[in-house]
């Protein structure tokens, strides 16, 4: 019952209520991993699904994510590394020449809520930086964002840089952003295109679990 | 009939003859098109250090750049993109407006940015803004009131001096998938202030064009209820259909835009031609349409693509 309440309060974006409930659940002896999976992650999954179906909006997701983050922080001391739910590593950024970060930040938030570790490279990121980071940090996924039609063409350079570095078969490359389309992603040789942050997180998670 | 009068007729959704009015919210390709540096590409860091003469020359130059753009592409309106972010800019912008008016009289419909409403925040401020919507409704509403009051104060001055015909209300509300604000949030934090601004502007004799990129459909009812004279951009990359908006609201508001900027940038020539023809066909049906891109002619767009769009308008965009 308390796990369901955690999920509901998280969906309402009530971080303080979530923290109180998480604390109570721990006191009741519920394992931290159970609280994480059946309370926090379950609530975030519901919000993510609603967001994908356009029944909740970005601020709703952000408040839920804030509650998720704060609730997770309380669980951290009680979780082993394996239990902490980290399911894979992604490096993410806005492509060179593009200083827009709204979409990229939303994707980051949704990915983290799926238990992915995200290395945020920020904005105006050179193609080589994506590839070098993925190689050094052992990232399974590179996520590239662009808002501008003038910058999205540089996304192809990331694919080429990964090929040149000999890591193309070790990393999945995802692209997204307002002007980006499925066709464009296919044309430049990316592995996936996502039209929204929730789907991007799902796709990245699936790649990490492959 | 002047371009200004034609533009006003389109805003009023009245029948006109000849070309469907056209303009661009911003046209950045002035160097390539006219051999002139766009006002936004000029650095005026030493403005305060300049002599009056040098300042006047800069203002003259910028005014001429706006006018030459309008002349070259037969625009009916000129939008001076500068916003009053600081009151120190106030005098400079007034002088720019005065100069454009002096040089063109009433030939063009002259617009300034005038949106007091919150735009969707950038990535850095999105969380703090969202927290305020959830946890500080009173404080955020107070700020919305203050923003409105500031804009109306500026509008009063402009009204007395007869410098502009209307305001482009340029706060963006939407992503491609959905608005940033839910309909309920929009109703609380945006619509009341947008409505009051438009109403006050109208009382002062100004027209209002409400711009937003992205998928505006979930909040479009509320925006139209605020009674702007026109809606701008109607972003096809976000799935906004000109014919559908026309069907739903064409009897209440004029429409501007919908020529797909994505295609202008990366589509084939055939796709561009087809999209321009579609926009003209759907928009001109029943009047109340102003032909333009679904955003602006931005830095990086190939000039020849805008000129192709413009050529089709010239050849086929007549009533």
Given an 8 Å threshold on Cβ–Cβ distance, is A59 in contact with B185? yes
Contact residues on chain B for A179, CB-CB shorter than 8 A: 237, 262, 265-266
Q: Is residue A40 part of a domain?
A: yes
User: How would you list the strands of the sheet with A116-125, edge to edge?
Assistant: A116-125, A88-95, A141-145, A172-176, A192-193
Asked if residue B84 has pLDDT above 80, the reply is: no
SS3 sequence, A7-65? HHHHHCCCHHHHHHHHHHHHHCCCCHHHHHHHHHHHHHHHHHHHHHCCCCCHHHHHHHH
Residue A44 has φ and ψ, to the nearest 5°, of -70, -35
Question: For residue B80, what are the CA distances in angstroms to A92, B53, B99, B164, B305?
Answer: 37, 22, 12, 10, 23
- For residue B86, pLDDT beyond 60: no
Mean pLDDT of B10-28: 97
Polymer length in residues for chain B: 319
B205-264: per-residue pLDDT in tens? Answer: 999 999 999 999 999 999 999 999 999 999 999 999 999 999 999 999 999 999 999 899
CA angle in degrees (0–180, nearest 5) for B36-B39-B45: 120
Whether B17 contacts B311, CB under 8 Å: no
Q: Count the neighbouring beta carbons within 10 Å of the beta carbon of residue B43.
A: 7
Question: DSSP for B214-236?
Answer: S--HHHHHHHHHT--SEEEE--G
Query: Looking at chain B, which residue has its C-alpha nearest residue A178?
Result: B176
Q: Are residues A146 and A70 in the same domain?
A: no
Rounded average pLDDT over B11-30: 96
Q: Which of B281, B275, B255 is nearest to B263 (CA)?
A: B275
From chain B, pick out residues whose CB is under 8 angstroms from the CB of A62: 126-127, 130
| Lowest pLDDT segment from B86-95, B125-134, B258-267 | B86-95
Question: Cβ of A179 and B127 within 8 Å?
Answer: no
Query: Same domain for A63 and A140?
Result: no
Q: Are residues A163 and A97 in the same domain?
A: yes
Distance from CA of A126 to the nearest CA of B (A): 19
DSSP string spanning A100-151? Answer: --HHHHHHHHHHHHTTEEEEEEEEEE-HHHHHHHHHHHT-SEEEEE---HHH
Across the interface, of B134, B181, B298, the residue whose CB is closest to A57 is B181
**Are A71 and A171 members of one domain?**
no
Verify that A98 and A182 share a domain, yes or no: yes
A131 and A153 both lie in a single domain:
yes
Query: Within this chain, do residues A102 and A60 fall inside the same structural domain, yes or no?
Result: no
pLDDT of B24 higher than 80: yes
**Domain end (from A78, A109, A143):** A78
Please classify residue B271 by burial: count the beta carbons closer than 10 Å to its beta carbon, then call 0-12 exposed, 13-18 middle and 19+ buried.
middle
Q: Average pLDDT of B130-145?
A: 96
Are residues A122 and A22 located together in one domain of the fold?
Answer: no
* Structure tokens that stand for A42 in this block: 């379950």
- Structural domain includes residue A83: no
pLDDT in tens, A82-127: 555 567 899 999 999 888 877 888 888 888 878 889 999 999 999 9
List the one residue out of B38, B146, B124, B39 whose CA is nearest residue B89: B39
Asked if A122 and A183 sit in the same domain, the reply is: yes
Residue A17 in any domain: the answer is: yes
Distance from chain centroid for Cα B309: 19
A144 is in which domain, residue-wise? 88-209
Considering only CB atoms, which chain B residues are within 8 Å of A149?
A: 261-262, 265-266, 300-301
Residues A58, A99: one domain? no
CATH of the domain at A30: 1.10.1240.10
The answer to whether residues A54 and A156 belong to one domain is no
**Averaged pLDDT for residues B44-54:** 87
Residue A101 and residue B122: Cβ atoms within 8 Å? Answer: yes
Question: Residue A136 CB: number of other CB atoms within 10 A?
Answer: 10
Q: Check B130 against A54: CB less than 8 A apart.
A: no
pLDDT of res. B87: 47
Q: Where are the domains of chain B?
A: 3-316
> Is-contact A91 A130, C-beta < 8 A?
yes
Name the β-bridge partners of A174.
A143, A192
- Model confidence band, residue B295 (pLDDT cutoffs 50, 70, 90): very high
pLDDT digits (tens, 9 = 90+) for A129-166: 999 999 999 999 999 999 877 788 899 999 999 999 99
How is domain B3-316 classified at the CATH fold level?
Answer: TIM Barrel (3.20.20)
Question: A178, B130: Cβ pair inside 8 Å?
Answer: no
Dist CA A18 CA A155 (whole Å): 39
Torsion of CA B125, B119, B296, B9, to 10 degrees: -170
Q: Which residues of A touch B185 (CB under 8 A)?
A: 57, 59
A68 and A94 within one domain:
no
Domain count for chain A = 2
- Smallest CA–CA separation between A90 and chain B, in Å? 19
Query: A148: domain CATH number?
Result: 3.40.50.280
B312 and B259 Cβ atoms separated by less than 8 Å: no
Q: At what angle do helices B303-316 and B269-284 cross, to 10 degrees?
A: 40
- What residues contact A165, with CB distance under 8 A and at least 6 apart? A131, A132, A135
pLDDT value at residue A52 = 81
Tell me if A63 and B134 make a contact (CB, 8 A cut-off): yes
DSSP-derived pairing of the beta strands A172-176 and A141-145: parallel
Structure tokens at B58: 């800069």
Gap between the Cα atoms of A166 and A158, Å rounded: 12
Distance from CA of A38 to the nearest CA of B (A): 26
């Amino acid at each position: 019952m308390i796990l369901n309440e955690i999920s509901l309060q998280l969906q309402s974006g009530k971080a303080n209520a979530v923290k109180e409930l998480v604390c109570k659940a721990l006191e009741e002896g519920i394992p931290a991993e159970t609280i994480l999976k059946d309370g926090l992650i379950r609530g975030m999954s519901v919000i993510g699904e609603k967001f994908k179906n356009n029944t909740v909006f970005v601020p709703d997701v952000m408040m839920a994510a804030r509650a998720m983050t704060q609730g997770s922080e309380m669980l951290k001391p009680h979780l082993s590394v394996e239990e902490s739910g980290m399911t894979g590593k992604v490096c993410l950024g806005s492509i060179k020449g593009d200083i827009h970060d709204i979409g990229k930040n939303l994707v980051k938030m949704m990915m983290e809520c799926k238990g992915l570790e995200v290395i945020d490279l920020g904005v105006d990121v050179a193609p080589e930086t994506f590839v070098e980071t993925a190689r050094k940090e052992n990232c399974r996924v590179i996520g590239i964002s662009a808002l501008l039609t003038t910058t999205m063409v540089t996304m192809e350079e990331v694919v080429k840089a990964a090929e040149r570095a000999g890591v193309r078969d070790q990393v999945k490359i995802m692209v997204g952003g307002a002007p980006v389309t499925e066709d464009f992603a296919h044309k430049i040789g990316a592995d996936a295109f996502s039209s929204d942050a929730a789907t991007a997180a799902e796709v990245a998670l699936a790649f990490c679990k492959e | 009939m002047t371009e200004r009068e034609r533009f006003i007729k389109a805003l009023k959704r009245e029948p006109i003859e000849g070309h469907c009015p056209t303009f661009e919210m911003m046209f950045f390709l002035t160097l390539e098109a006219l051999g002139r540096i766009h006002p936004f590409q000029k650095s005026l860091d030493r403005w305060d250090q300049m002599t009056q003469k040098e300042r006047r020359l800069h203002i003259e130059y910028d005014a001429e750049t706006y006018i030459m753009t309008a002349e070259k592409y037969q625009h009916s309106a000129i939008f001076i993109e500068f916003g009053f972010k600081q009151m120190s800019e106030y005098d400079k912008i007034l002088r720019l407006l005065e100069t454009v008016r002096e040089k063109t009289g009433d030939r063009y419909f002259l617009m300034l940015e005038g949106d007091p409403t919150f735009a969707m925040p950038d990535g850095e401020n999105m969380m703090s803004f969202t927290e305020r919507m959830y946890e500080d409704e009173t404080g955020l509403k107070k700020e919305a009131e203050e923003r409105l009051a500031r804009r109306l104060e500026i509008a009063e001055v402009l009204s007395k001096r007869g410098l502009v015909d209307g305001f482009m209300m340029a706060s963006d509300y939407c992503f491609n998938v959905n608005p940033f604000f839910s309909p309920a949030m929009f109703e609380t934090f945006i619509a009341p202030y947008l409505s009051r601004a438009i109403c006050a502007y109208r009382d002062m004799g100004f027209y209002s064009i409400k711009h937003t990129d992205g998928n505006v459909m979930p909040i479009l009812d509320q925006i139209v209820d605020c009674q702007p004279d026109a809606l701008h951009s109607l972003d096809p990359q976000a799935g906004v259909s000109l014919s559908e908006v026309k069907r739903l609201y064409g009897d209440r508001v004029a429409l501007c835009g919908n020529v797909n900027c994505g295609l202008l940038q990366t589509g084939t020539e055939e796709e561009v031609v087809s999209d321009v023809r579609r926009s003209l066909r759907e928009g001109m049906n029943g009047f109340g349409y102003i032909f333009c891109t679904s955003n602006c002619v931005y830095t990086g767009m190939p000039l020849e693509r805008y000129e192709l769009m413009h050529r089709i308008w010239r050849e086929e965009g007549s009533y």
